[in-house]
Amino acid sequence: MTAPLIALNGLTKRYGSFTAVDDVTFDVPEGSICGLLGPNGAGKTTTFKCLLGFVKPSAGTVAIQGAPVTPATFEELAYVPERASLYDNLTIGQHLTLYRRSYKHFDAARAAELLALFSLEEKQKAQRLSKGMRTAVALVLAFSIRPRVLILDEPSSGLDPIHQRHVLDLMIEAAANGAAVLFSSHQVGQVERAADSVAIMKRGKLIVSSVIDDLKSGEKIIEAVFAGPIPDLGDLAGDPRILRTEQTGSLLRVVTRDDNDAIAQRIFALHPKSIRTIDLNLEEIFMNAVSGDQH
Amino acid sequence: MPTIFTVDPRSGIPLYLQLTEQIKRAIALGTLAPGEQLPTVKALALELTVNPNTVARVYRELERDGVIDTSPGRGSFVSAGKAGVESRRAIADVARAAFEGAVREAKSLGLSREETHELMTRSIARWYETENE
C-alpha cells in the first residue's frame, strides 16, 4: 500500500490555553472522500489550516502525499476556503490566466467546461460576484489543476441545489480518478451521499472516524416495550457494544455501536412485549455523537 | 444502460447493502441478463451520485458471491456460466430477506410461533394456488 494522500497524526493546535485541535488522527487514502462534520467551533477550519501548512501545529504531524507540506505540495493540491479569496479587480478570465501560469497541470479546456457548468463567464469581474459565485469560481480553479488532493472547506455554501449537486459530482469524479478528497460541510446529507468515510469533530477532538456504511451497520436503536417495569439489564448495561441506554417507563431504548443483532437477541431474552431495531441515518448518528456528553 | 437502480443515501441502511440487493434483484428479474455488462464503478457512482468506493465494494461482494465476473480492462459482467444457479440464489436472497423481515415483525408484535406459521401457510396457499388454477 502507498501512503495515504492526506494523513494527520496526533495533530494538536493550541492558542494560549485554548486547544482548537486536540490529538486528531485520521487519513484519507487515494480514491477516497472523507466528510468532516462538526458544530461551529469544533476545529474543522484550524485542522485544514494545519494540513495546508498555514498554521504550525503545536504537536503531531500532517502529511500530504506522504510528505510534509512544502510549496511544491500545492502543484497537485487544491484548497477551497470557506470564503473564496479572489482578486476583486480581476475578471474570472484573468484568474484563469493566473492559474494557467502557476500550475503545471492546469487544464484550460476543463476550466471552460466547469465555468459553463456553474453558469459563469470569463468577463465577469470578481468584485461583482455573489458569495456563492465566488465559491463557484474557487471550485472551477481548484478542479482545473487536476489535483491529486482536494481540501474543501464548506464547498457548497451559497450555491443553489443544482450547483451543489455538481460539486458532489466533481468530488466523486476526482475520487474515481484516484484523488483524495477531504471536505467539511454542515449538510450531513451531502457527506452521506458523496463520502465513503466520515470524521466528526467536537470541541477540537475527533469523536467519530469511520467508514459511513460500517457506522450505519453498527449503530442502531433497539427499542423494547415491556409489559411492566423494565427488568434489570444485568451485565448488558456495561456492554462495550452499547453506546447508551435510555429508560422511560416500560420503554427501553438501547443505542448500539456494533453487533446489534446479538444485543437484540439478549434483550429479547428479557421477554419484552415487543422489540424492534431502528436504522439510523448519518444525521441521527451525528446528532447522537455531538450531543453525547451533554447530559 | 438505463437507470434501473435507485438508492437512498439518507436511509439508515448502508448504501452498499441497498445497491447490492438492487443489482441481485435486477438479475433475478432478468432486467440484467447473463453476460450483460455492468457500468464501470466510476460511471455508476456518477450516475447515482454516490461514492465510488461504495460502488467498488458492491462489485467486490457481487464478484465474491459469483453473481458477476470482473476482468481487468474489460469490465464487469453478469455471470454467464453459473447464471442459472446464481440468479436463483439471488432470488432466494431477496426473498429470504423479505421473509426474515416479516417473521421478525410478527415476532416483535407478539405473535406466537404457531400464529406466525399459520399466517405464512395462508400466504403460501393464497399465492401458489392461484398460480396452479
Place A291 in a pLDDT band, splitting at 50, 70 and 90.
confident
ipTM, interface predicted TM-score of the complex: 0.86
Q: Are B50 and A172 in contact (CB < 8 Å)?
A: yes
Cα–Cα dist A152/A145, whole Å: 14
Among B42, B51, B104, the residue to mutate for chain A (most A Cβ within 10 A): B51
Q: Are B10 and A192 in contact (CB < 8 Å)?
A: yes
Assess contact for A105 and A77: CB atoms under 8 A. no
Q: What is the pLDDT of residue A143?
A: 96
Q: Are B110 and A31 in contact (CB < 8 Å)?
A: no
Angle at B51 between CA B46 and CA B52, to 5 degrees: 75
Closest CB from B15, B42, B108 relative to A176: B42
Q: Are A276 and B52 in contact (CB < 8 Å)?
A: no
Q: How close is the nearest chain A Cα to the Cα of B123, in Å?
A: 23
Q: How close is the nearest chain A Cα to the Cα of B22, in Å?
A: 16
Question: What percent of chain A is predicted at pLDDT more than 90?
Answer: 83
Residue in chain A closest to B56 (alpha carbons) equals A176
Query: What pTM did the predictor assign?
Result: 0.88
Cα–Cα dist A268/A168, whole Å: 42
Closest CB from B9, B10, B46 relative to A169: B46
C-alpha cell at B49: 451520485
Report CA dihedral (A98, A103, A104, A106) to the nearest 10 degrees.
-70
C-alpha cell at A37: 462534520
Residue pLDDT, tens place only, A29-52: 999 999 999 999 999 999 999 999
A97's CB contacts (< 8 A; 6+ apart) are none
Going A166 to A171 to A175 to A177, the CA torsion angle's sign is: positive
Closest CB from A31, A172, A196 relative to B46: A172
Q: Which long-range contacts (CB under 8 A, 24 or more apart) does B87-91 make?
A: B87/B27, B87/B28, B87/B34, B88/B28, B89/B65, B90/B24, B90/B25, B90/B27, B90/B28, B91/B28
Q: Per-residue b/e over A34-73, b at no fewer than 16 CB within 10 Å? A: bbbbbeeebbbbbbbbbbbbebebeebebbbbeeebeeeb
Residue in chain B closest to A276 (alpha carbons) equals B108
In 3D, which of A225, A188, A195 has the Cα closest to residue A28?
Answer: A195
How many helices (DSSP H) and strands (DSSP E) are in chain B?
Answer: 5, 2
Residue B1 pLDDT exceeds 60: no
Q: Are A194 and B10 in contact (CB < 8 Å)?
A: no
Could you tell me if B46 lies within 8 Å of chain A, comparing CB atoms? yes
Query: Domains along chain A?
Result: 6-211 (3.40.50.300), 220-279 (3.30.70)
Could you tell me if B88 lies within 8 Å of chain A, comparing CB atoms? no
Query: Domains along chain B?
Result: 15-83 (1.10.10.10), 84-132 (no CATH)
Q: What is the pLDDT of residue B72?
A: 84
Assess contact for A96 and A108: CB atoms under 8 A. yes
| Strand boundaries in chain A, DSSP class E | 6-15, 18-28, 33-37, 59-64, 77-80, 149-153, 180-184, 197-202, 205-211, 220-225, 242-248, 251-256, 274-279
Residue A294 pLDDT exceeds 50: no
Residue pLDDT, tens place only, B73-86: 889 999 876 656 66
Residue in chain B closest to A34 (alpha carbons) equals B51
Question: What percent of chain A is predicted at pLDDT more than 70?
Answer: 98
A243 backbone dihedrals φ, ψ, rounded to 5°: -85, -40
Assess contact for A170 and A78: CB atoms under 8 A. no
Size of interface A-B (CB pairs under 8 A): 74
| Burial classification of residue A85, based on how many CB atoms lie within 10 Å of its CB (0-12 exposed, 13-18 middle, 19 or more buried) | exposed
Q: How close is the nearest chain A Cα to the Cα of B47, in Å?
A: 9
Residues of A with Cβ-Cβ distance to B17 under 8 angstroms: 213, 217
Residue in chain B closest to A215 (alpha carbons) equals B14
Q: How close is the nearest chain A Cα to the Cα of B124, in Å?
A: 25
Q: How close is the nearest chain B Cα to the Cα of A223, in Å?
A: 10
Assess contact for A67 and A149: CB atoms under 8 A. no
Q: What is the pLDDT of residue A295?
A: 37
Question: What percent of chain B is predicted at pLDDT more than 70?
Answer: 88
Chain A residues with CB-CB distance to B under 8 A? 31-33, 165, 168-169, 172-173, 175-177, 189, 192-196, 212-214, 216-217, 220, 273-276, 278-284
Amino acid at A120: L
Residues of A with Cβ-Cβ distance to B42 under 8 angstroms: 173, 176-177
Residue pLDDT, tens place only, B19-55: 988 888 888 778 888 889 999 999 999 999 999 999 9
Report CA dihedral (B66, B72, B76, B78) to the nearest 10 degrees.
-40
Residues of A with Cβ-Cβ distance to B11 under 8 angstroms: 279, 281
Residue pLDDT, tens place only, A190-240: 999 999 999 999 999 999 999 999 999 999 999 999 988 999 988 888 899
Residue in chain A closest to B49 (alpha carbons) equals A169
Average pLDDT in the A99-122 region? 95
